[in-house]
């Protein structure tokens, strides 16, 4: 049996799905969360069954090896030779990789040079590519599908920064965004759900998870996005600070006697929800403690306020959004957060139905019929989107 394995390694998680090549039937899937922490867990789903085990400090390499063993132990594959291609989500391709690409030893070195554009993500994703190169037969193509490719034709006025123009050109400095695979998938999924042409949507998509990004799309293309040159920009995230005054970097360098790299690591790995709350990078922990912990409440309120600012500005930029779609781990599962964001959007005429918001499963409209902007919740499926790209690439 010929199968396609899709690996989606994030800054603190690794999702994977195994598809049958012929029709992209889903055979098995899994999720590893809170990677490299004492609370790490490994979830394996097969034939309607779900197995979840705690594995303290589970690393990405150990996780990949474990998932391959689980596939063999459950008889889903007889050997690694049953996997004929692997698709990898890679955040940053800069302008070097403009489309899905088979990664060989030569362009693997080129890909490694792009770590600076996504320091939390690209190194992990490159490591996963190398791990599977070593484990699987050498003739199995490793296909990188880039989040950044969705945003490469974004308008100059929203993708450029106010730097000397030649710097932007010479050093590929522009907004690359993140979660482009997810936002692209949700753009089409929203159109399918509403039975409307993609070109008719003036859509704001909220991919909210450990990393969060918000994108505005019009005429079937992105026109702006919250993340920037790296995934650090935007709303405060699990461990990332989000948008801030660039002068804070040299200020902290002087005050803490740290290098620039040290401060960037601080902003990427020890800030955001974790840094403000002092509790956790996980929104589930914030929700469970914010009633009694002022710092957890502050982190939550900052996240909500920042998200609302982006939505409101994109509403104006689009000339009036007609749809808002929530997706990803927090966006799909945290009904209270969706309600709190939408409550602040009431000034724009947004109204949600509490029962539809809090109950049900799968894609659904959670706004009332008289809401000025339709509000949807649609589960993302980056892995299926990547598998489709793999089929057209190999």
User: What residues form the annotated binding site for substrate?
Assistant: 89
What 3-state class would DSSP assign to 113? coil
What 3-state class would DSSP assign to 161? coil
Sequence-distant (6+) residues with CB within 8 A of 293 are 277, 279
Residue 325 has a CB neighbour count (10 Å cut-off) of 28
Give the DSSP H/E element, type plus range, for residue 83: strand 83-90
Cα–Cα distance for residue pair 60/80, rounded to 1 Å: 18
Sequence-distant (6+) residues with CB within 8 A of 95 are 152, 172, 174
β-partners of residue 17 are 6, 29
What 3-state class would DSSP assign to 94? coil
Cα–Cα distance for residue pair 159/190, rounded to 1 Å: 24
Q: Supply the residues annotated as catalytic.
A: 147
Phi and psi at 8, nearest 5°, equal -125, 90
Pull the structure tokens for residue 28: 């098995």
Enumerate the known binding-site residues for Mg(2+). 8, 382
Determine how β-strand 213-218 pairs with β-strand 221-225.
antiparallel
- Minimal CA–CA distance to 94: which of 79, 109, 74, 114? 114
Cα–Cα distance for residue pair 163/20, rounded to 1 Å: 47
């Amino acid at each position: 049996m010929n199968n396609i394995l899709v690996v989606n390694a994030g800054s603190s998680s690794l999702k994977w799905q195994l598809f049958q090549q012929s029709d992209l039937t889903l055979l098995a899937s899994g999720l590893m969360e809170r990677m490299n922490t004492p609370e790490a867990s490994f979830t394996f789903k097969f034939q309607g069954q779900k197995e979840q085990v705690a594995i303290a400090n589970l690393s990405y390499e150990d996780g990949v090896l474990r998932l391959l063993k689980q596939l063999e132990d459950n008889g889903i594959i007889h050997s690694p030779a049953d996997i004929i291609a692997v698709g990898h989500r890679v955040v940053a391709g800069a302008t070097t990789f403009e489309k899905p690409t088979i990664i060989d030893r030569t362009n693997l070195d080129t890909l490694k040079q792009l770590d600076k554009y996504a320091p939390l993500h690209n190194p992990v994703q490159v490591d996963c590519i190398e791990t599977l190169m070593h484990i699987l037969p050498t003739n199995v193509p490793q296909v990188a599908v880039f989040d950044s490719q969705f945003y490469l034709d974004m308008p100059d006025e929203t993708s450029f920064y106010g730097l000397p123009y030649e710097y932007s050109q010479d050093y590929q400095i522009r907004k690359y965004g993140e979660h482009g695979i997810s936002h692209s998938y949700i753009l089409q999924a929203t159109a399918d759900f509403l039975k409307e042409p993609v070109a008719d949507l003036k859509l704001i998509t909220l991919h909210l998870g450990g990393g969060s990004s918000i994108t505005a799309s019009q005429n079937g293309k992105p026109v702006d996005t919250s993340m920037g040159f790296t995934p650090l920009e935007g709303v405060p995230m699990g461990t990332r600070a989000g948008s801030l005054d660039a002068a804070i970097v040299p200020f902290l360098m002087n005050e803490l006697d740290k290098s620039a790299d040290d401060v960037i690591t601080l902003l990427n790995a020890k800030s955001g929800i974790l840094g403000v709350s002092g509790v956790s990078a996980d929104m589930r922990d914030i929700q469970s403690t914010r009633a009694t912990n002022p710092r957890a409440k502050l982190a939550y309120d900052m996240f909500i306020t920042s998200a609302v600012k982006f939505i409101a500005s994109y509403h104006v930029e689009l000339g009036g959004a007609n749809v808002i779609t929530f997706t990803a781990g927090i966006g799909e599962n945290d009904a209270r957060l969706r309600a709190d964001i939408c409550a602040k959007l009431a000034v724009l005429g947004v109204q949600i139905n509490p029962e539809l918001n809090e109950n049900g499963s799968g894609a659904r409209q959670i706004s009332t019929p008289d809401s000025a902007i339709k509000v949807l919740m649609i589960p993302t499926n980056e892995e299926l989107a990547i598998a489709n790209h793999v089929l057209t690439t190999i």
